[in-house]
A and B are shown apart, each in its own frame.
Chain A
Amino acid sequence: NAGVTQTPKFRILKIGQSMTLQCTQDMNHNYMYWYRQDPGMGLKLIYYSVGAGITDKGEVPNGYNVSRSTTEDFPLRLELAAPSQTSVYFCASRIGQGASNQPQHFGDGTRLSIL
């Protein structure tokens, strides 16, 4: 199994550009998450989804959007890139309801720089 796959691994954007970070998982997990990781700040939840067609905001959703049309895919969209969005982005998945004792599975991350 590939687990959680993120693309691209690295990207440089100019201020005001838009892009989509792709995330797909092959474990049939219902729950999916997007985090950003900044030095010394741990992981901050951007958006999450509990199943296809259901998404909700996390702690730091401003400037981002998501969709979940299938169980496998959970893309993250940046509409107008700003320098404050320079970060490492991780996608994660988990089995789902009733499995809060199960760990999340993480992708390899996307390192994004906004210049």
Chain B
Amino acid sequence: AQSVSQHNHHVILSEAASLELGCNYSYGGTVNLFWYVQYPGQHLQLLLKYFSGDPLVKGIKGFEAEFIKSKFSFNLRKPSVQWSDTAEYFCAVNAGGFKTIFGAGTRLFVKA
């Protein structure tokens, strides 16, 4: 069965620190990959997605992610975080069809 693993459940950073959140999935075929963000008290919203082409994708608010097929990974990065990036981040995979599998989420807290 498909699964998505996010390595860190909680991350605490100071403002201006660099961020990398790990995501690995288990599926050998073609996949569509997503990162969603959930700000406190809000719904999930799309940060970025990858489905083909350049494996380095850029999203909103300075986030980017790199798809490494050989490692089944889709890690999220941001060079310099801000207090407003405090949120929960979800990696998600769709291998075709209706179903998208979500990771357990990583809670990021950025200290001002």
Q: Which residues of A contact B (CB under 8 A)?
A: 4, 31, 35, 40-43, 45, 48, 50, 90, 92, 94, 97, 100-101, 103-104, 106-109
Contacts and interface: CB of A to CB of B under 8 A. Distances in A.
B98 A31 contact: yes
Given A40-B104, A90-B43, A101 B90 contact: no
A94 B51 CA distance: 16
A35 B44 CA distance: 12
B99 A45 contact: yes
Contact of A100 (B42, B97, B103): B97
A43 B92 CA distance: 10
Given A103-B34, A103-B46, A42 B105 contact: yes
Interface residues of B, number: 24
A84 to B, nearest CB: 19
Given A31-B98, A45-B99, A100-B94, A40 B9 contact: yes
Given A100-B94, A100-B97, A43 B43 contact: no
A101 B32 contact: yes
A34 B89 CA distance: 19
A50 B98 CA distance: 8
Contacts of A94: 98
Given A40-B9, A100-B97, A101-B94, A90 B104 contact: no
A17 B95 CA distance: 38
Contact of B90 (A4, A43, A45): A43
Contacts of B96: 100
Given A100-B32, A108-B42, A109-B43, 20 more contacts: A40-B9, A40-B104, A41-B104, A42-B102, A42-B103, A45-B99, A50-B98, A90-B43, A90-B44, A92-B44, A94-B98, A97-B98, A100-B94, A101-B32, A101-B52, A103-B34, A103-B36, A104-B44, A106-B44, A106-B45
A94 B96 CA distance: 13
20 contacts: A31-B98, A35-B102, A40-B104, A40-B105, A42-B104, A43-B102, A48-B99, A90-B43, A92-B44, A94-B98, A100-B97, A101-B32, A103-B34, A103-B36, A103-B46, A104-B44, A104-B100, A106-B43, A106-B44, A108-B43
